[in-house]
């Protein structure tokens, strides 16, 4: 391994002038005061030329050169016509003279993105421009997904950005009803742009002081909303609901069998988990009625497990199930958990947001009795993906369960209060900053447009009940309203109306939703999910979590289903 | 639950005009053609007024209104002075007339961010402005982290954004050497901004067609670089190295004991994992020399485990350890794994990036014999956090291990080739799009500035060897160069130079690095990590992964350590 002579690299500078900036006079900037704090707008120009302070004084001295506080003074860059065809990534910062191309490139990207944002909310724009995988792989009008061996120009990179959005799906479109997470929140978006720019890691206070404190304060607020006294307890933001739920299982196991941490699973008896038959995990499945678990069946299963020599450990109560939006009866489940000394977890990934609502939080009654709660603001609350919290009632148990006491990662002899370091509580080392967008949205909104969502799903129920063409599953089976913003229904084409129930009708009806969905995606007008479940053949699952959706969009969806499915 | 009369909400529209945009003439836009694809710059104005096409024709008809291809035409929005003090989140899209405030708000945020980017690369800017947790919690000059019950104005939201950056850490600063992931890559940043704007989920091809294909193609390229024939195999991007490594353990367990998936851990014997003593996990720890595991010790431990009735399952070979940047001898470990039929995982979270380098990939010789590999582009390759891949040699095993065959999540009867849906391979439902920034950087760069990193760490070694004030751990112990860009050293203040080795000197030296680090953070000039390890007292671990760093920055770090530590 050669230790060659120092060579100047692309981004290198003369070491002797390392603390000086080259004169910026060659750039065309409009130096302006972009801050609106109290003072209002004003212009504040300065030059950094001839900054030749000695080394020790250079940082303290900087303020002397500035006629206003450095932190408040933002430059408003002028977006100029730039030829990107001869510019490459290597011409951007940290390259010498890279500042101007960098700013112009970023402003060009922002043009693309703001145009996309504008069109996303424009109902004359398609939700998607569908192509099959093989079509996109073959290349669409010059959009080549393959990675070549030659670097592309910035012009091509910008084209790639445009094409990536063009062939994608507008999940923020008012007529996108396909997923539990939808919508494009502008405050959340701004928060994500800032988060990417800060590009740090929730690992320690040292490298993410502000974000770590925001997470701590926000988790405390969430715990207060759960109803744990004084908002005490613990928690973390994790990459998603599945991982938050995994944390809950790990903590429960640690609570009852801490030696599993060092000795492995052989240190515990055969542990058993219980959850609703409407949930994904293959554990002990509890029967349900109205899609809510039946507490008596839970107790019977616990007794059965014990009789077989297993060790019941953990009960999951779902607050907002994926398909039907059902809420398990938490208080009744908590009674059983107390009786048998089991860990109670509430999976509120989807429904947790209702804790923010005075009107609807009763659906999670008893949640304060849970040992842990999963709550995904990226679902019901419209926070950009990813944003999921695991909240724990017992303080310290997250660290107890997950800490490895790795001195090379967490130093106890740092100058600040290291209890603020979060890394030793997490199963991750690098942990993305998911808190800022949520914190910012909370600051900006507080009450989260909650009424709108419910209003919309009730409208849909009305629509469905009035029309013979759609059959609402809740009404067919139990004559009840949906518990959440999930509305599940069959579209019945004229050819099936009046046909007696039986295998033939079931088989035909099973094929209706996939056919309509395929045509819907081809035409790109709207998107809604479908699935079979249990004995029920394919049905549509409409979900309203997008704050851009209005009654007219729901009418549009029903009309579009009818337009596409009428002749099936 | 009342099904009240439809009420107009903030974002509602007249249902009868749902497919039309209100005339946009009230906004002051500069409509311009922002696309540079081949054609160069040109201006292309149009008005959407009187767009009263009938419903069926409205989407197809749209193109007739446009004088150039819709996908290419970007509006360049004019950034105007806006008073945000009376604007709130509710005034932004999807609110009626929300477009103009939305664009102006986003452009104002971009001003803040571009200013931050510019300063990040400016060596006259501090790396951080340190405050203790209690200081930030008490509120700094009006920066209030607490969540109130009243929504803030957009003016205050913008101030919050500025303050969040002001009190944070500039991880892209040329003098930030604190973490394995550092640097602020402009292409990667643009990629993240686009990803946030697209705000979708890697779950299915249906909602992320372009990103799913990008992931597939990029993973194939990575497998080709590993050396698996034809790039065949499987993989996923996960939220980080720890979770990628967890995938590898789960797959290995599934490979040898598939019944664990349905019957739990009691279906397997006592499984044992093996890894270097320099790695975090408390499994069977293998002794090392030069921080690389000793294959003979691995074999001895395997035999020992078998004799105790355990079932050896999995060996982890580290390619780039966190502290010393050591590479385990993969080929020798692979021989042992073949002999004993064990799963071989290579944890290349840190060092995997060297597979891109003709000059340095030999350090991972034998990686093609691994069953699975972790590789984090967010570390060595400077991709913004989070970006980690788990790569698997055997095709189909990821799905075999993780699929739940949940018909309500993945429908086999969709119109496209559903083998492109990735959700059933993952342990997550909502999976953040981590691929786009990496794909875009690959397109833009290809060779990743690899030479620069090595050049810098060798310079540092030279610096250290020449100067009695610093002692390079590698040289003290083994007279070798570091294997990677990690450089570990003690700073020896004059008071300790010449003092004989012993408890007193060790205790004093142990306190040197924390003291210097504390002063360094207070002065905000640079950041570098330190830790003790094994019998070694606190030492600095310098890591070069930031492409903005130059020789002058490394000189600056050493000088700064001396300036701060000289009188200790």
d(CA A454, CA A449): 10
* Nearest alpha carbon to residue B390 among B232, B283, B242: B242
CA distance A17 to chain B (A): 9
Write out pLDDT tens, residues A358-405: 888 999 999 999 999 999 999 988 999 999 999 999 999 999 999 886
How confident is the model at residue B358, as a pLDDT? 80
B422 or B470, which is more confident: B422
Three-class secondary structure of residue A463 per DSSP: helix
Percent of chain B with pLDDT over 70: 80
d(CA A367, CA A346): 7
The segment(s) of chain A belonging to CATH 3.40.640.10 are 200-444
CA distance A450 to chain B (A): 11
State the pLDDT confidence band at B182, using cuts at 50, 70 and 90: very high
Q: Do A36 and B142 touch (CB under 8 A)?
A: no
How confident is the model at residue A465, as a pLDDT? 67
Percent of chain A with pLDDT over 90: 63
CA distances to A165, A436, A554 from A125, in Å: 13, 30, 17
Neighbour tally for B194: CB within 10 Å: 24
Asked if residue B352 lies in contact with residue B221, where contact means CB atoms within 8 angstroms, the answer is no
Which of A85, A109, A115 has its CB closest to that of B36? A85
A17, A98, A194: best mutation site toward chain B, by most B Cβ within 10 Å? A194
How confident is the model at residue A244, as a pLDDT? 98
CA distance A482 to chain B (A): 10
CA distance B451 to chain A (A): 9
The segment(s) of chain A belonging to CATH 3.90.1150.170 are 450-565
How confident is the model at residue A373, as a pLDDT? 98
- With CA atoms as reference, the chain A residue closest to B194 would be A113
Characterize the bridge pairing of strands A343-348 and A311-318.
parallel
pLDDT surpassing 70 at residue B412: yes
Q: Do B432 and A112 touch (CB under 8 A)?
A: no
Percent of chain B with pLDDT over 90: 62
The least confident of A469-478, B16-25, B131-140, B481-490 is: B16-25
Q: Do B194 and A147 touch (CB under 8 A)?
A: no
Asked if residue A102 lies in contact with residue B186, where contact means CB atoms within 8 angstroms, the answer is yes
Strands (E), B422-526: 470-472, 486-491
Write out pLDDT tens, residues B158-169: 999 999 999 999
Asked if residue B461 lies in contact with residue B303, where contact means CB atoms within 8 angstroms, the answer is no
Q: Which chain A residues are closer than 8 Å to B4 by Cβ?
A: 455, 458
Q: Which chain A residues are closer than 8 Å to B239 by Cβ?
A: 239-240, 243, 386, 428, 432
B311 or B47, which is more confident: B311
State the pLDDT confidence band at A464, using cuts at 50, 70 and 90: low
CA distance A336 to chain B (A): 24
* Whole-number average pLDDT of chain A: 84
How confident is the model at residue B357, as a pLDDT? 84
Q: Which chain A residues are closer than 8 Å to B444 by Cβ?
A: 88-89, 151-152, 154, 157
Q: Do A411 and B530 touch (CB under 8 A)?
A: yes
d(CA B195, CA B439): 12
* Nearest alpha carbon to residue B533 among B245, B277, B176: B277
B244 or A272, which is more confident: B244
Q: Do A409 and B280 touch (CB under 8 A)?
A: yes
CA distance B273 to chain A (A): 11
Alpha-carbon dihedral angle through residues B5, B7, B12, B18, given to the nearest 10 degrees: 40
Q: Do B532 and A408 touch (CB under 8 A)?
A: yes
Which of B168, B264, B533 has its CB closest to that of A198? B168
- With CA atoms as reference, the chain A residue closest to B20 would be A124
Q: Which chain B residues are closer than 8 Å to A18 by Cβ?
A: 123, 550, 552-553, 555-556
The segment(s) of chain B belonging to CATH 3.40.640.10 are 194-445
Burial category of B415 from C-beta neighbours within 10 Å (exposed 0-12, middle 13-18, buried 19 and up): middle
How confident is the model at residue A358, as a pLDDT? 80
The least confident of B209-218, B427-436, B475-484 is: B475-484
Which of B200, B243, B443 has its CB closest to that of A428? B243
d(CA B226, CA B203): 26
Asked if residue B494 lies in contact with residue B468, where contact means CB atoms within 8 angstroms, the answer is no
Write out pLDDT tens, residues A241-264: 999 999 999 999 999 999 988 888
Percent of chain A with pLDDT over 70: 80
CA distance A295 to chain B (A): 24
Q: Do B555 and A94 touch (CB under 8 A)?
A: no
CA distance B297 to chain A (A): 21
Characterize the bridge pairing of strands A234-238 and A176-177.
unpaired
A–B CB contacts, 8 A cutoff, strictly below: 618
The least confident of A54-63, A228-237, B305-314, B526-535 is: A54-63
Q: Do A161 and B190 touch (CB under 8 A)?
A: yes
How confident is the model at residue A262, as a pLDDT? 83
Q: Do B36 and A155 touch (CB under 8 A)?
A: yes
* Whole-number average pLDDT of chain B: 84
Query: What are the beta bridge partners of residue B317?
Result: B346
d(CA A382, CA A444): 13
pLDDT surpassing 80 at residue A40: no
pLDDT surpassing 70 at residue A54: no
Q: Do A190 and B109 touch (CB under 8 A)?
A: yes
CATH of A200-444 given 3.40.640.10, 3.40.50.980, 3.30.465.10, 3.30.9.10: 3.40.640.10
- B194-445 has CATH 3.40.640.10 classification: yes
State the pLDDT confidence band at A142, using cuts at 50, 70 and 90: confident
How confident is the model at residue A412, as a pLDDT? 81
State the pLDDT confidence band at B447, using cuts at 50, 70 and 90: low
Characterize the bridge pairing of strands B292-293 and B288-289.
antiparallel
Q: Which chain A residues are closer than 8 Å to B555 by Cβ?
A: 15, 18
**Mean pLDDT across A468-479:** 66
Tokens representing B315? 């060996």
State the pLDDT confidence band at B51, using cuts at 50, 70 and 90: very low
Buried b (16+ CB within 10 A) or exposed e, B88-115: bbebbbbbeebbbbbbbbbbbbbbbbbb
pLDDT surpassing 90 at residue A298: yes
Which of A137, A161, A181 has its CB closest to that of B213? A137
CA distance A334 to chain B (A): 25
Write out pLDDT tens, residues B365-397: 999 999 999 999 999 889 999 999 999 999 999
Alpha helices in B232-390 (DSSP H): 241-256, 260-263, 295-307, 330-340
Q: Which chain B residues are closer than 8 Å to A2 by Cβ?
A: 458
d(CA B168, CA B113): 13
Q: Do A93 and B117 touch (CB under 8 A)?
A: yes
Write out pLDDT tens, residues A300-346: 999 999 999 999 999 999 999 999 899 999 999 999 999 999 999 99
Q: Do B18 and A553 touch (CB under 8 A)?
A: yes
Q: Do A136 and B166 touch (CB under 8 A)?
A: no
Q: Do A209 and B169 touch (CB under 8 A)?
A: yes
How confident is the model at residue A74, as a pLDDT? 80
B114, B423, B540: best mutation site toward chain A, by most A Cβ within 10 Å? B114
A207, A375, A377, A533: best mutation site toward chain B, by most B Cβ within 10 Å? A207
State the pLDDT confidence band at A453, using cuts at 50, 70 and 90: low
The least confident of A131-135, A271-275, B102-106, B287-291 is: B287-291
d(CA A201, CA A431): 5
**Mean pLDDT across B330-348:** 98
pLDDT surpassing 70 at residue B17: no
* Nearest alpha carbon to residue B293 among B344, B246, B217, B221: B344
The least confident of A23-37, A443-457, B258-272, B463-477 is: A23-37
Write out pLDDT tens, residues A528-539: 999 998 889 999
B124, B140, B244: best mutation site toward chain A, by most A Cβ within 10 Å? B124
Q: Which chain B residues are closer than 8 Å to A221 by Cβ?
A: 147
Q: Which chain A residues are closer than 8 Å to B187 by Cβ?
A: 89, 92, 157
pLDDT surpassing 90 at residue B2: no
Which of A14, A239, A538 has its CB closest to that of B432? A239
Q: Which chain A residues are closer than 8 Å to B77 by Cβ?
A: 111, 114
How confident is the model at residue A272, as a pLDDT? 87
- With CA atoms as reference, the chain B residue closest to A146 would be B217
pLDDT surpassing 70 at residue A452: no
Characterize the bridge pairing of strands A343-348 and A372-375.
parallel
Write out pLDDT tens, residues A72-85: 568 889 999 999 99
How confident is the model at residue A277, as a pLDDT? 77
CATH of B450-565 given 3.80.30.20, 3.50.50.60, 1.20.1530.20, 3.90.1150.170: 3.90.1150.170
A139 or A460, which is more confident: A139
Tokens representing A128? 């998607």
Q: Do B11 and A550 touch (CB under 8 A)?
A: yes
B55, B210, B260, B478: best mutation site toward chain A, by most A Cβ within 10 Å? B210
Which of A246, A413, A521 has its CB closest to that of B415? A521
Which of B75, B429, B455 has its CB closest to that of A115? B75
Q: Which chain A residues are closer than 8 Å to B522 by Cβ?
A: 415
* Nearest alpha carbon to residue B76 among A165, A79, A122: A79
How confident is the model at residue B360, as a pLDDT? 86
B8, B34, B161: best mutation site toward chain A, by most A Cβ within 10 Å? B34
* Nearest alpha carbon to residue B280 among A253, A43, A406, A158: A406
If phi over 0 gives left and psi between -120 and 50 gives alpha, with beta otherwise, what is residue A169? beta
Alpha helices in A94-153 (DSSP H): 99-120, 133-138
For B182-232, give the secondary structure using H, E and C: CCCCHHHHHHHHHHHHHCCCCCCCCCCHHHHHHHHHHHHHHHHHHCCHHHC
Asked if residue A462 lies in contact with residue A487, where contact means CB atoms within 8 angstroms, the answer is no
Q: Which chain B residues are closer than 8 Å to A378 by Cβ?
A: 430
């Amino acid at each position: 391994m050669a230790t060659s002579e120092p060579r100047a690299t692309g981004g290198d500078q003369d070491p002797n002038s390392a603390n000086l900036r080259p004169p910026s006079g060659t750039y065309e900037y409009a130096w302006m005061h972009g801050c609106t704090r109290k003072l209002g707008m004003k212009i504040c120009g300065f030059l950094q030329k001839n900054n030749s302070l000695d080394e020790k004084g250079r940082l303290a001295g900087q303020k002397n050169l500035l006629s206003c506080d450095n932190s408040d003074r933002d430059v408003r860059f002028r977006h100029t016509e730039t030829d990107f065809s001869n510019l490459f990534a290597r011409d951007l910062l940290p390259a010498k003279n890279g500042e101007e191309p960098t700013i112009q490139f970023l402003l060009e990207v922002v043009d693309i993105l703001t145009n996309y944002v504008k069109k996303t909310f424009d109902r004359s724009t398609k939700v998607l421009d569908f192509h099959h995988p093989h079509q996109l792989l073959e290349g669409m009008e010059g959009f080549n997904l393959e990675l070549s061996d030659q670097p592309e120009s910035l012009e091509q990179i910008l084209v790639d950005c445009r094409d990536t959005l063009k062939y994608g799906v507008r999940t923020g479109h008012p007529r996108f009803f396909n997923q539990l997470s939808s919508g494009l929140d502008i405050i959340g978006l701004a928060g994500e742009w800032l988060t990417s720019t800060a590009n740090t890691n929730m690992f320690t206070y040292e490298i993410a002081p502000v974000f770590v404190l925001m997470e701590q304060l926000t988790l405390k607020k969430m715990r207060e909303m759960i109803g744990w006294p004084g908002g005490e307890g613990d928690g973390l933001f994790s990459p998603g609901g599945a991982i938050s739920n995994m944390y809950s299982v790990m903590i429960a196991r640690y609570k009852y069998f801490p030696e599993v941490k060092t000795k492995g699973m052989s240190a515990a008896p055969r542990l058993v988990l219980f959850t609703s038959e409407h949930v994904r995990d293959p554990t002990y499945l509890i029967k349900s009625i109205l899609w809510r678990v039946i507490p008596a069946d839970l107790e019977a299963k616990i007794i059965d497990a014990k009789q077989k020599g297993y060790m019941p450990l953990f009960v999951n109560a779902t607050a907002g199930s994926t398909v039907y939006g059902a809420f398990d009866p938490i208080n009744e489940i908590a009674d059983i958990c107390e009786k048998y000394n089991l860990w109670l977890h509430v999976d509120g990934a989807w429904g947790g947001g209702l804790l923010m609502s005075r009107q609807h939080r009763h659906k999670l009654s008893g949640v304060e009795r849970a040992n842990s709660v999963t709550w995904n603001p990226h679902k019901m609350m419209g926070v950009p993906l990813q944003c999921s919290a695991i909240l724990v009632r017992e303080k310290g148990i997250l660290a107890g369960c997950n800490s490895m006491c790795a001195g090379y990662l967490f130093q106890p002899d740092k100058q600040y209060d290291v209890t603020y370091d979060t890394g030793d509580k997490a199963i991750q080392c690098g942990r993305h900053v998911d808190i800022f967008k949520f914190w910012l949205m909370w600051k900006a909104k507080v009450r989260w447009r909650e009424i709108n969502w419910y209003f919309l799903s009730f409208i849909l129920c009305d629509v469905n009940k009035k029309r013979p063409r759609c059959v609402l599953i809740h009404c067919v089976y139990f004559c009840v309203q949906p518990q959440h913003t999930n509305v599940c229904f069959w579209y019945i084409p004229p050819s099936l109306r009046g046909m007696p129930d039986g295998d033939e009708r079931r088989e035909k009806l099973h094929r209706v939703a996939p056919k309509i969905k395929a045509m819907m995606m081809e035409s790109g007008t709207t998107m809604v999910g479908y699935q079979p479940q249990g004995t029920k053949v394919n049905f549509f699952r409409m979900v309203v979590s997008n704050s851009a959706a209005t009654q007219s969009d729901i009418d549009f969806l029903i009309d579009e289903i009818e337009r596409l499915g009428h002749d099936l």
